[in-house]
Amino acid sequence: MSRIETTFARLKEQQRKALIPFITAGDPALEITVPLMRSMVEAGADVIELGVPFSDPMADGPVIQKACERALAAGTGLPDVLAMVREFRRGDDTTPVVLMGYLNPVECMGYERFAETCAEVGVDGVLLVDLPPEECDEIAPLFKERGVDLIFLVAPTTTDTRIGRIAEAASGYLYYVSLKGVTGSASLNVDEVAARVETIRKLAQLPIGVGFGIKDAQSARAVSRVADGVVVGSALVNQVAEHADDPMAMTAAVSEILAGMRAAMDKP
């Protein structure tokens, strides 16, 4: 089994849910990312989503847009992100790492080279926001044959028919976008999320992670009651920005948020 499959199977056996933090690679500096990834695992992360910085992140709100700007200003490119995963794997061979980003940097590198390098350095999954499942028939085999999961977003407005198409193309887990908006949006209706997750479960056999709008331990706990995984991004990236000049304070702030979420999610 893949690292992602193994992680979700272990958590299911333990009757626990996956805590999936997101940070932007290279924000605010390249040398910060890998130590922060390790600290997040120590604080309770089960899967790490690592954002590939891009100049036009259409699904992201101001917090992650600015993180991309900082990372790009620091000189972070896709090869650097892949090198970070390689470095992370030197000390951690069990925590799944998912790269989340957009098509342009991958197209510049080339799909086959990208898929090969992902497998080589230890990337477990790839989520390309602007890659629709209808257009991935030629691309998907490049990842599948190398054991790299292709993860797709499901929106509140996605039809049942399209959810079925997404489920056919996806592996690893599905990422349900809990809001009709961008990352960091304010309101989260857990009842609506629960109803949509129930619908998705009838159409897909994969674990379901829920993200967008999860800001604190309370919202993480509520979502963990209805989903298989909880994705938190903007709340952490805010702390990275706030403590950009103090890596120790940054690590402590991010770890505190994750530890609080982990405790709330595990509470009976």
The residues assigned a catalytic role are 49, 60
- What does the alpha-carbon distance between residue 37 and residue 155 come to, in Å, rounded to a whole number? 27
- What does the alpha-carbon distance between residue 224 and residue 226 come to, in Å, rounded to a whole number? 5
The residue type of 76 is T
Beta strands in 149-254 (DSSP E): 149-150, 153-154, 174-177, 208-211, 229-232
Are 25 and 121 spatial neighbours (Cβ–Cβ below 8 Å)? no
C-beta atoms surrounding 15 within 10 Å: 8
- What does the alpha-carbon distance between residue 98 and residue 123 come to, in Å, rounded to a whole number? 6
Closest by CA position to 119, among listed 34, 231, 2: 2
